[in-house]
Structure 1
Amino acid sequence: MPTRFHSAFIHRFVCIGGSESDRPIDGLKGYLCPKGFYCPAGSAIEVPCEPGTYSPMPGASFCLPCPPGTMCNTPGTKEPIICSAGHYCPVQTAYPLPCPAGTMNMMEGALSATACVACPAGSFCRGEANDQPDGPCLQGYFCQGGATDAVPLVSEMFPRNGFCPSGHYCPEGALTPMPCPLGSIRNNTGGTSLESCLPCPAGHYCASEGLQMPSGSCLPGFYCPAGFSALSPNAFLCPKGHHCPPGSASPLPCPAGEYQPNRGSEVCVPCQPGYYCEETIAGDPQPCPPHTYCPPATKVPQLCHNGTFTPAHTSGLQEPNDCLPCPPGKFCRRGQIQGSCAAGFFCLSGSYEFTPHGPSVAAACPPGVICAGLCPAGFYCPEGTDEPLACPPNTLRSLPGARHKADCLPCPSGYWCHQGKCGDIL
């Protein structure tokens, strides 16, 4: 039994009129049905093959469907045309079907939509009928595939297309986000290059790739400097004479009055009594020098109060009462004996002036009390006097401030005098 293909080519003719045969070939009364046309029985004129069909041989009674991978895009097609790249052509295609946006087909003769593959990673395929990518995706974005524009959009098939995520950077045409390296971070999206990754912030460490925030703060007793990009919480050991609390960017000098003799310390220790600790001085506290005292946490040695002193070889005093009262006949300032009290004055204890103006003579001078002053009437006081000297018998001194024994005058007539004082003769 003849097939459809064979029956298509049982020669058909066109009978114009007056033909004496069912197969006229003289061209006047009829002719063989030409290529690209078909002629049903009794045809007075040939019929062109419709788009999507063709007739490759003369005498056809019907047209053949255009085979898959080809197209027949004009009426009267004699031979199918190979399907163009960027398209696909199923059976009986009149016009090639374009591959959709985000896909491409580099080969000619595609049979079906399965020939349209997703635009490659790192590239975009804008619009339809792409036979190659239009270009690379923009920097700051990444394209895993199927991108329809240089700024890729998320799709059901490629849900991660889009902005470069934080902790990463995406150069032009990035297939996948590149993680910021160890010791760096990026806390915003859209990084475009390695320079978009910032050094780990001072006082912190960044121990893994792709961080948007530091891994944590530097440990107590250590520091993580700016620009170093610390990879661990114990980047640098805190040096002697400094302290490093958690998250230190640099070692902090011990403040005045404190010290730290060890490395790797979080805090400084108050200077012990009898010693002083100057700012930025590393190492052990210094003994309090002579003429001074140093209570706990002393920054600068304190001078003994005026009216007190220490011997030149004495050091390490802790409080003001450790300083000694100025000795009799002397005056003391800045913790040292400055010299003898002036003539006409007495200095029993605690004097700090060359010419003191203190209370009158006391039998005993309590600690911390200044017992010094102008030589009283009836007495005289040579230079360096600790206790006023009474005028000799039968002499008197009615005014204070006598310097020498000669300042005591003879007792006047009609009076008697005892220890510089006089009275009426009975």
Structure 2
Amino acid sequence: MSGVIRLPSSSEMSYPPEVLVWTGAKSQAAEPYNMPPGLLLNGQRLQLPALPRRRESVSVTPVAQATSALLKPGVWRRGAEPAQPGVGFHVTAETACPVGHFCPVGLGMALPCPVGTFSDRMFLSMSSECLPCPPGHFCAASGLSAPSGPCAPGYFCLSGVSSPTPTGRSGHGGPCPQGHFCPRGTSLPQPCRAGSYGSLLGQVSCFPCPAGYYCPENITSYSGYPCPAGFYCPRGTKHAAQFPCPRGYYNPDPLTHSLDSCLPCPPGHYCGQENLTKPSGPCDAGWYCVSAAWNARPFDLDNYTSTNCLCPATATGGKCPAGSYCPEGSPEPIPCTPGSFCATSGLPTPTGPCQAGYFCIGGSESPAPVDEVTGGPCPPGSYCPVASHKPTPCPVGTFSSLPEQTTSSTCRSCPSGFYCKEAGLQAPSGWCPAGYYCDSSTGPVQDFSLYPCPRGYYCPVGTTKAMYHSCPVGTYGPRKGLTSITECQLCPAGKFCSLAGISAPTGKVQTALGLNMVSKGLEAYPDRTSSLQESVLQGTGAKQDLPASTPQMGLGASAAPQDTTVLKALQSQPRAHLELGLQKEPEAQRDAGSALLDNSVLGASCQPGRHLAT
């Protein structure tokens, strides 16, 4: 009778579990179970370690000879329940080699796949058929049907690794090297990507490249890769030329880290390409570059209209407008210089000088502006030669009543009888006031107060000469600045005033002679008889007799010379031309005193220029 022995499980013995041996034929004799067991495999006895004693006794039937065939590869036989109690076991079926194991040919037992391998298939017959633990995983035990898990972060695991944190000594993995990173389950170290670096062993991820530097792939330090001038490098920059300064900007410094580090092209210059370390050059003549210009002839402010506003703020420049000019390198339009005009746009210099008779304040588009903003025609009281930036006032002592005058010679001198106290007059300041004279024969009068009427004379309004109005014969002017003939004083009693224009009486006279002369005067001017008589009497006192030797005064009847006429009618003031623009001249002055004395006052006696007959 055929039979089998079912050996204890792995919890009861130290050798591989459930090794079944097929005995084949009926045994000749029975052996106690507690004896060293002997199993027959293909007719040969297999020596195994002694089994521990069990409570029950199991008998097996030794086999005299084996007659069965070998087990199939990858197959083993499991014992079933005994057919009859106490008789033994018999083979019931063949079973496939389980996953995680292999079953050598004829061994009749399943062996576990070794550490570092696994098997997810059945029917393995050799250990070489167990799969090495795949890269990125580890297989920490034997008999595995799947890897134990992924490789630990910061490590890499090659094929067949048995630990999640390999040391690297076995050549199957190890800590992540510098310049690389190893996330969980890494099979091969991954080089740090561009824009990062790895300076440490066992890095799970690489450090981002700091601002101001760039980091190529697989580097352990960023210090050797400073950002070059003309570029900027924010955090994580991958290569040197990744972030160039744009057109219109430049960057002279290395190690910069943001777009703000790029400087706008300075006013008057342009930056025509990327990654510049200095401006490309000055703006072209006839154009202006405000800031950040990327063209030598910018055009985004071609509609520029006012030098007071460069709008919008992002504008870079434009063509110089009319009324201004732009030399090379201009930061903004320059208003046409005072005294010149700029007729067209795009001018590098002004077109030419302002026209004579006009003035150009600045920014003028015309040689003869009329807008009063950039210029205008020369006003009265001034003159404007060529290239005038403002009207030139007529000099002090002159005036001009006409516009658009071109030279100072067109300014007229202040006429006699008038004064011109300041520059730029359109007409004389006024008539010469009473008590003063304004004589322009020696030069125009600016300050009439310097010319008071002299003693012996009086000066009504508009007097042209110092000695034009003399106090008449029989009177005198003791002080300066007399304004009318009424201020001339009568010759006092006892004295005579034989000349016109004197500041004091001519001399003393005898009483009889004086009274005789006074009486003659009173006959001519009965309205002043009492005043004259009183004046004489108060001045002389009692009548005096003339000495015997005093010659008789022969009063000649001949007239005085023409230039010594005692009184004559006041001449009318000379009238100025209408174009002077003066106020109406004062009426010819003649007061009651002007008729005080005339050629008939004294008849033929005591007339100026004549002597008393002996």
Higher strand fraction (1 or 2) = 1
Q: Report the counterpart of residue 389 of structure 1 in structure 2.
A: 468
Instruction: Kindly state the Cα deviation for residue 290 of structure 1 after the two structures are TM-superposed.
Output: 0.9
Do residues 325 (structure 1) and 419 (structure 2) align? no
> Out of 271, 283, 297, which is 1:234 matched to?
297
Task: Give the secondary structure class of the aligned counterpart of 2:498.
Answer: strand
Q: Report the counterpart of residue 166 of structure 1 in structure 2.
A: 229
Question: Equivalents in 1 of 2:157, 2:356: separation in Å?
Answer: 93
Question: Equivalents in 1 of 2:359, 2:417: separation in Å?
Answer: 33
Instruction: Kindly state the Cα deviation for residue 208 of structure 1 after the two structures are TM-superposed.
Output: 0.7
Q: Report the counterpart of residue 215 of structure 2 in structure 1.
A: 143
Q: Report the counterpart of residue 376 of structure 1 in structure 2.
A: 454
Identity %: 32
Instruction: Kindly state the Cα deviation for residue 26 of structure 1 after the two structures are TM-superposed.
Output: 1.9
Do residues 219 (structure 1) and 284 (structure 2) align? yes
Task: Give the secondary structure class of the aligned counterpart of 1:357.
Answer: helix
Q: Report the counterpart of residue 527 of structure 2 in structure 1.
A: none
Q: Report the counterpart of residue 181 of structure 1 in structure 2.
A: 246
Q: Report the counterpart of residue 399 of structure 2 in structure 1.
A: 309
Question: Equivalents in 2 of 1:201, 1:380: separation in Å?
Answer: 77
Q: Report the counterpart of residue 429 of structure 2 in structure 1.
A: 338
Question: Relative to structure 1, is the Cα distance of residues 418 and 141 closer, same or farther in structure 2, using a 3 angstrom cutoff?
Answer: same
Q: Report the counterpart of residue 360 of structure 2 in structure 1.
A: 277
Specify which structure has the bigger relative contact order, considering alpha-carbon pairs within 8 angstroms and separated by 6 or more residues.
Answer: 1
Question: Equivalents in 2 of 1:58, 1:343: separation in Å?
Answer: 149
Q: Which moved more, 1:213-222 or 1:132-141?
A: 132-141
Q: Please say if residues 232 and 256 of structure 2, whose CA atoms lie closer than 8 Å, have aligned partners that are also in contact.
A: yes
Question: Relative to structure 1, is the Cα distance of residues 325 and 94 closer, same or farther in structure 2, using a 3 angstrom cutoff?
Answer: closer
Question: Equivalents in 2 of 1:218, 1:145: separation in Å?
Answer: 42
Instruction: Kindly state the Cα deviation for residue 346 of structure 1 after the two structures are TM-superposed.
Output: 1.8
Q: Please say if residues 358 and 376 of structure 2, whose CA atoms lie closer than 8 Å, have aligned partners that are also in contact.
A: yes
**Two-structure CA RMSD over aligned residues (Å):** 5.4
Higher helix fraction (1 or 2) = 2
Q: Report the counterpart of residue 18 of structure 1 in structure 2.
A: none
Q: Report the counterpart of residue 290 of structure 1 in structure 2.
A: 380
Q: Report the counterpart of residue 121 of structure 1 in structure 2.
A: 194
Do residues 348 (structure 1) and 429 (structure 2) align? no
Q: Report the counterpart of residue 96 of structure 1 in structure 2.
A: 173
Q: Report the counterpart of residue 47 of structure 1 in structure 2.
A: none
2:215 partner amino acid: C
Q: 1:30-51 CA deviation, whole Å, 9 max, x = no partner?
A: xxxxxxxxxxxxxxxxxxxxx9
Question: Equivalents in 1 of 2:322, 2:462: separation in Å?
Answer: 51
> Out of 210, 227, 233, which is 2:275 matched to?
210
Do residues 134 (structure 1) and 206 (structure 2) align? yes
Q: Please say if residues 393 and 417 of structure 1, whose CA atoms lie closer than 8 Å, have aligned partners that are also in contact.
A: no
Q: With the length of structure 2 as denominator, give the TM-score of the two structures.
A: 0.44
Q: 1:382-401 CA deviation, whole Å, 9 max, x = no partner?
A: 32121232538744433343
Question: Equivalents in 1 of 2:490, 2:176: separation in Å?
Answer: 141
Question: Relative to structure 1, is the Cα distance of residues 217 and 70 closer, same or farther in structure 2, using a 3 angstrom cutoff?
Answer: closer
Q: Please say if residues 183 and 230 of structure 1, whose CA atoms lie closer than 8 Å, have aligned partners that are also in contact.
A: yes
Question: Equivalents in 2 of 1:166, 1:216: separation in Å?
Answer: 18
Q: Please say if residues 283 and 297 of structure 2, whose CA atoms lie closer than 8 Å, have aligned partners that are also in contact.
A: yes
The answer for unaligned runs of 5 or more in structure 2 is: 1-43, 51-114, 117-123, 161-168, 299-317, 368-374, 508-610
Task: Give the secondary structure class of the aligned counterpart of 1:306.
Answer: coil
> Out of 449, 458, 469, which is 1:357 matched to?
449
Q: 1:49-90 CA deviation, whole Å, 9 max, x = no partner?
A: xx99xxx9999xxxxxx9xx999999x9xxxx9x97846689
Instruction: Kindly state the Cα deviation for residue 139 of structure 1 after the two structures are TM-superposed.
Output: 4.5
Q: Report the counterpart of residue 62 of structure 1 in structure 2.
A: none
1:303 partner amino acid: P
Q: Report the counterpart of residue 6 of structure 1 in structure 2.
A: none
1:96 partner amino acid: G
Question: Equivalents in 2 of 1:117, 1:72: separation in Å?
Answer: 18
Task: Give the secondary structure class of the aligned counterpart of 2:290.
Answer: coil
Q: 1:299-351 CA deviation, whole Å, 9 max, x = no partner?
A: 543433332211x22433444x5422111211224412232212332212112
The answer for unaligned runs of 5 or more in structure 1 is: 1-22, 30-50, 60-65, 359-372
Q: Please say if residues 221 and 244 of structure 1, whose CA atoms lie closer than 8 Å, have aligned partners that are also in contact.
A: yes
Q: Which has the larger radius of gyration?
A: 2
Q: Report the counterpart of residue 498 of structure 2 in structure 1.
A: 417
Q: Report the counterpart of residue 153 of structure 1 in structure 2.
A: 222
Q: 1:150-183 CA deviation, whole Å, 9 max, x = no partner?
A: xx426xxxx7xx3333332334433322212222
Question: Relative to structure 1, is the Cα distance of residues 377 and 193 closer, same or farther in structure 2, using a 3 angstrom cutoff?
Answer: closer
Q: 1:337-378 CA deviation, whole Å, 9 max, x = no partner?
A: 23221233221211234xx233xxxxxxxxxxxxxx222334
1:145 partner amino acid: E
Q: Report the counterpart of residue 306 of structure 2 in structure 1.
A: none
Question: Equivalents in 1 of 2:469, 2:194: separation in Å?
Answer: 116
Q: 1:117-166 CA deviation, whole Å, 9 max, x = no partner?
A: 74332343454467x85364344432221123xxx426xxxx7xx33333
Question: Relative to structure 1, is the Cα distance of residues 395 and 343 closer, same or farther in structure 2, using a 3 angstrom cutoff?
Answer: farther
Task: Give the secondary structure class of the aligned counterpart of 1:276.
Answer: strand
Question: Relative to structure 1, is the Cα distance of residues 101 and 326 closer, same or farther in structure 2, using a 3 angstrom cutoff?
Answer: same
Question: Relative to structure 1, is the Cα distance of residues 86 and 297 closer, same or farther in structure 2, using a 3 angstrom cutoff?
Answer: farther
Q: 1:158-212 CA deviation, whole Å, 9 max, x = no partner?
A: x7xx333333233443332221222233444445454554443333322111223
Q: Please say if residues 457 and 477 of structure 2, whose CA atoms lie closer than 8 Å, have aligned partners that are also in contact.
A: no
